[in-house]
Chain A
């Protein structure tokens, strides 16, 4: 079955440190992967996607994600965290059977000053 997992409910990082939010996936074909961010009382905002090409994908707000086929992972990264990065982050993978998105449960990222 196709699925996506975000193993951490919450990640705490000090401002200025690098951050990583983890995502692993399981699909039958080539993965189409996405990261979204949700700020309090707001809808989800698209950050970046991997369809094909370079394993390192750059997105909005200085975020990037690394696609690792052997580990079936698509971790979200940022070299230097900002307090304003505190939000809920969702990973998603496209379901090959109907082309809809399968969503992870979300990871709450807290950046402390």
Chain B
């Protein structure tokens, strides 16, 4: 898991707080992803960045705001969250080749609790 790191590992925040999740990949990949993992549900893709441009936004509420300043770093800015946003947030990266993405490598996740 040292290939993709995420901080913090745990975060408790109130509904009026603003916080940010950070992800860094050390694999030289050119695509990065944010996923939400809730209990007993399939992984939900939130955002995809390819070559630092956002290419996918799966109808995520605007209280989640991604930022990708370079190919190695990805942020997820959080504000005015709801209790149902409590989940494990996973970052992943992959190498895109000719428009095809292959296996993704994941960070350990940030366990978010919204109170």
- Report which A residues bind B (CB closer than 8 A): 32, 34, 36, 41-46, 49, 51, 90, 94, 98-101, 103-106
Contact = CB atoms under 8 A, between A and B. Distances in A.
Interface stretch (B12-20, B66-74, B78-86, B105-113): B105-113
Contacts of B45: 100-101
Given A43-B90, A98-B56, A100-B48, A90 B43 contact: yes
A106 B42 contact: yes
A43 B43 contact: no
Nearest to A42: B108
Interface residues of B, number: 25
Interface of B: 1, 4, 6, 40-43, 45, 48, 56, 90, 92, 96, 99-109, 111
A49 B102 contact: yes
Given A43-B1, A43-B90, A103 B104 contact: no
Nearest to B40: A105
Contacts of B41: 105
A52 B5 CA distance: 31
A77 B101 CA distance: 25
Contact of A99 (B6, B99, B111): B99
A49 B41 CA distance: 22
Given A42-B108, A42-B109, A98-B56, A105 B103 contact: no
A84 to B, nearest CB: 16
